[in-house]
Structure 1
Amino acid sequence: MSRNGNRIGSLDGLRGLAAGIVLIHHASLIAEPWLDPAGWAVLTQSPLKLLIAGSEAVMVFFVLSGLVVALPALRPGFSWARYFPARLFRLYVPVIAALGAAALLVKVVPRDASTMPDESWMQDAQATSVSAGDVLSQMTLLRADYPIDNVLWSLRWELFFSLLLPLYVWVALRVRRFAVPVGVLTVVLMFAGRASGNSALAYLPVFLLGTLIAVRYPDLRGLAAGPRARRALPWLAAVAGTMLIASWLARPLTAGTIAADVLWALAGAGAALLVILAVIWPRAERALGTRPMQWLGRISFSLYLVHAPILATLCYLLGAERWWLACLIGVPLSLVAAAVFHALVERQSQVLARRAGAIGEALAERASVRRIGAARKVALARAQ
């Protein structure tokens, strides 16, 4: 397995692949109003959907976070005092920078939603004006909607998971022997959240799937050791991909029914299986460990944050009819912008996160020493 320090190379590659799919997904949403409905149905209700499965790729992000954020917490010597400030800096610094850049684009390039196709992603999900209050409220990651940079809806759940990590780890450790049935229960909770319109219940359980993988991670490597198991892995990959987009494949039959919500929840299980395959299947490890995948993985967070405002701005700048040119320019431009953003912002956020973590740990140790000193004084006073 390719590693860089404590990083798992194949998971970096999977993260990069997921970020690339989200990018293509949003480009496809710009194109959708201009495509033949029959052609769009073929694209979205066939295995081709895997190429533009943006919402499902976010599920993969959530499972990955549940795994890679929880793994260090399972190691001896892990410091929660270091974790919390470091994690918050790691999330908020890039988010604030990306949101500021997106707001600037809205200010610089005039936007009139009426010039975009009705009920399209461009008309419904993009801000046409900004104010300081808008920017500040969206920077908190506590809102339900994020029209300035609409990918931030998922960072809201990343934030909640990060703050609740001790609970996730506690639960996962206590049910680790029953990881499979608990995983099934997690998918049931996702279904309940989807059916009831409760977004927290629909998305927060996905992170638990990753945390369950984390507590069983040492066992997973042995699953693919035998030749029989290795022969089954390609079939498992096909099952995982099918589960990921099952709600789309069955849409002609299940649209508007409760079965659609059931199949939507299966995407979480499909995402979890893909993450497992990334660490136990040598063929997947090799593919995800290639230089392009590793490069995408390195800039994946930056790419996720910057691409939507770039695509939207180009579409408004060039005009709705030139959607194809906006996509043709926007996809490579997003990759370049992500590399620059990674170098200028994300790397600095990592440095700041390490410093914040060190300060948090030092303050916690100082407080602990004071508590011990105070307890000794009380004990001495009682003894006298």
Structure 2
Amino acid sequence: MSGSSRLSSLDGLRGAAALIVVVHHCFLVSPAFAAAYYGGETGDSPLRLALIYSPLHLLWGGAEAVVVFFVLSGFVLARGIRSSSFDWFAYFPSRVLRLYVPVAGAVVLGFVLLLVPHAGGPDSPWLQRDASDYDLGSMLQDLTLVGGTSGVVSPLWSLRWEVIFSLLLPVIAYAARVIPAWLFGVLCIVLSAVGAGQESAAMQYLPIFGVGVALEGEWGRIERLIGGLSRWGRTVLWGGMLPLAVVLLSMRWLLPPSLDHSVLVAAAQAPIVLGAALLVVMAAQWAPLSSLLSWRPIGWLGTISFSLYLVHEPFVLLMASATGASRWTLLTAVPLALVAAWLFWRVVERPAHKLSRGVRERAREKKTVMVENPPAVVPERERELIRM
């Protein structure tokens, strides 16, 4: 499989994950489904219970989709470092622009849409949003991200860790080269599980990006191992890996819900992260899944995935208020969010991407000029005269 096809399938995986996050928020409009996260009665409907406490939860598993995002981000950024054109001098300003310009657009859009009256929806704890909560201080908090987010535009919480990881990338990439990549990945999974149990967000989320970095470090070995298998061997491999990844990603909902919360999330975290890593491998290396994720409609989802993730939530809130039921929210908010994301991609994200590339190229050119024409060394006596 060519490198371009592989990247296309990973873009498709990101697009599918973004759509799952949208569906996740539509499901949270229902008090019964929201109870799985916020506490309360989920009811005794067999279908509802299956959608909550079985691998079917992955159809609307927003938290698991974000773990996939984090692994993908670590993998893709680490892959970029290996490019012959990569330059740290250009990386930082371009990366900051690439993230912050769309975030600023999402903050403004969220504020505007929250001004639209949207009371009267289902009695779900997830729907408790008020435009008055989004004051200037909260908006500035969301615009800076690093110190935390307001929670009003909830998808921004993950962008905080995306930004911090992007700034720490040199340190993490260096660690992944000093330590064997497979061992670094294991350590990251363990740290993430410990962080989940101790309710340390930084320890829980940042190592997930490290798993993606470690995965990229072992990518050549993974390709050789898979390439060395017979056709029958690959059939057995993928036939076993697919259900394994599904079970691992679903672990949060397969463990007894009666467990103490900290024990539950700690026990589930390592399997979830490992399942996300396996899913990335399958998306790139398993031809049927790679072809599906490279299919044009899913590829389009991949193109607008960042915009869809950023801007969908206010539309879900509005449709929940307008329709008054989660099933109608799903049918109306998803297409509306897709259209809004496409417009946001054209108006905000794509120009931001072009600006980011332009800054990166100018930074490279400036560094080249500085290297080729270093400043002349001024003798000490002349420096003293200048200071006088």
Pairwise same-fold verdict (TM > 0.5): yes
Q: Give the AA of the match of 1:64.
A: L
Q: Give the AA of the match of 1:37.
A: G
> Counterpart in 2 of 1:165?
169
- CA deviations over 1:292-347 (Å, ceiling 9, x no partner): 2111111111110111111012223x26x344333321111111111111111111
Q: CA deviation at 1:143?
A: 4.1
Kept after mapping to 1: 8 A contact 2:71/2:210 = yes
User: SS at 2:84's partner residue?
Assistant: coil
- CA deviations over 1:260-313 (Å, ceiling 9, x no partner): 412123211111111111112112211111112111111111110111111012
Q: CA deviation at 1:210?
A: 0.6
Is 1:274–2:279 an aligned residue pair?
yes
Counterpart-to-counterpart distance in 1, 2:362 and 2:69: 29
> Counterpart in 1 of 2:315?
310
Kept after mapping to 2: 8 A contact 1:193/1:200 = yes
User: SS at 2:152's partner residue?
Assistant: coil
> Counterpart in 1 of 2:243?
238
> Counterpart in 2 of 1:133?
137
User: SS at 1:373's partner residue?
Assistant: coil
Counterpart-to-counterpart distance in 2, 1:34 and 1:186: 31
Kept after mapping to 2: 8 A contact 1:74/1:215 = no
Q: Give the AA of the match of 2:253.
A: W
- Listed as ranges, the matches of 1:174-323 within 5 Å are 174-176=178-180, 179-225=181-227, 226-227=229-230, 228-252=233-257, 254-256=259-261, 258-316=263-321, 318=322, 321-323=324-326
> Counterpart in 2 of 1:79?
87
Q: 2:353 pairs with 350, 353, 356, which one?
A: 350
- CA deviations over 1:227-251 (Å, ceiling 9, x no partner): 2144212211211111111011113
Q: CA deviation at 1:7?
A: 7.3
Kept after mapping to 2: 8 A contact 1:71/1:214 = yes
- CA deviations over 1:83-107 (Å, ceiling 9, x no partner): 1111111101111111101100112
Counterpart-to-counterpart distance in 2, 1:162 and 1:303: 21
Q: CA deviation at 1:164?
A: 0.7
> Counterpart in 1 of 2:54?
46
Q: CA deviation at 1:378?
A: 5.2
Q: Give the AA of the match of 1:12.
A: D
Counterpart-to-counterpart distance in 2, 1:67 and 1:380: 52
What RMSD, in angstroms, separates the aligned Cα atoms of the two structures?
2.5
Counterpart-to-counterpart distance in 1, 2:174 and 2:318: 44
Stretch of structure 1 that moved more, 321-330 or 163-172:
321-330
Is 1:37–2:39 an aligned residue pair?
no
Q: How many residues align?
A: 370
Counterpart-to-counterpart distance in 2, 1:43 and 1:7: 31
What TM-score does the superposition give when structure 1 sets the normalisation length? 0.88
Gap regions ≥5 residues in structure 1: none
Kept after mapping to 2: 8 A contact 1:127/1:147 = no
Counterpart-to-counterpart distance in 2, 1:327 and 1:282: 31
Q: 1:127 to 1:245 in 2, by over 3 A?
A: farther
Stretch of structure 1 that moved more, 198-207 or 184-193:
184-193
Q: Give the AA of the match of 1:38.
A: D
Q: CA deviation at 1:190?
A: 0.8
Kept after mapping to 1: 8 A contact 2:106/2:310 = yes
Kept after mapping to 2: 8 A contact 1:230/1:281 = no
Q: CA deviation at 1:117?
A: 5.6
Q: 1:85 to 1:16 in 2, by over 3 A?
A: same
Counterpart-to-counterpart distance in 1, 2:372 and 2:130: 51
Counterpart-to-counterpart distance in 2, 1:68 and 1:234: 26
User: SS at 1:149's partner residue?
Assistant: coil
Counterpart-to-counterpart distance in 1, 2:287 and 2:345: 29
- CA deviations over 1:108-135 (Å, ceiling 9, x no partner): x1355xx566661112x66554323322
Q: 2:72 pairs with 60, 64, 75, which one?
A: 64
Identity of aligned residues (%): 36
Is 1:19–2:18 an aligned residue pair?
yes
Q: Give the AA of the match of 2:108.
A: G
Stretch of structure 1 that moved more, 139-148 or 76-85:
139-148
- Listed as ranges, the matches of 1:319-330 within 5 Å are 321-330=324-333
Q: 1:2 to 1:121 in 2, by over 3 A?
A: farther
Q: Give the AA of the match of 2:10.
A: L
Q: Give the AA of the match of 1:298.
A: T
Kept after mapping to 1: 8 A contact 2:103/2:143 = yes
Is 1:104–2:112 an aligned residue pair?
yes
Gap regions ≥5 residues in structure 2: 35-41, 383-388
Stretch of structure 1 that moved more, 35-44 or 166-175:
35-44
Counterpart-to-counterpart distance in 2, 1:72 and 1:300: 19
User: SS at 1:254's partner residue?
Assistant: coil
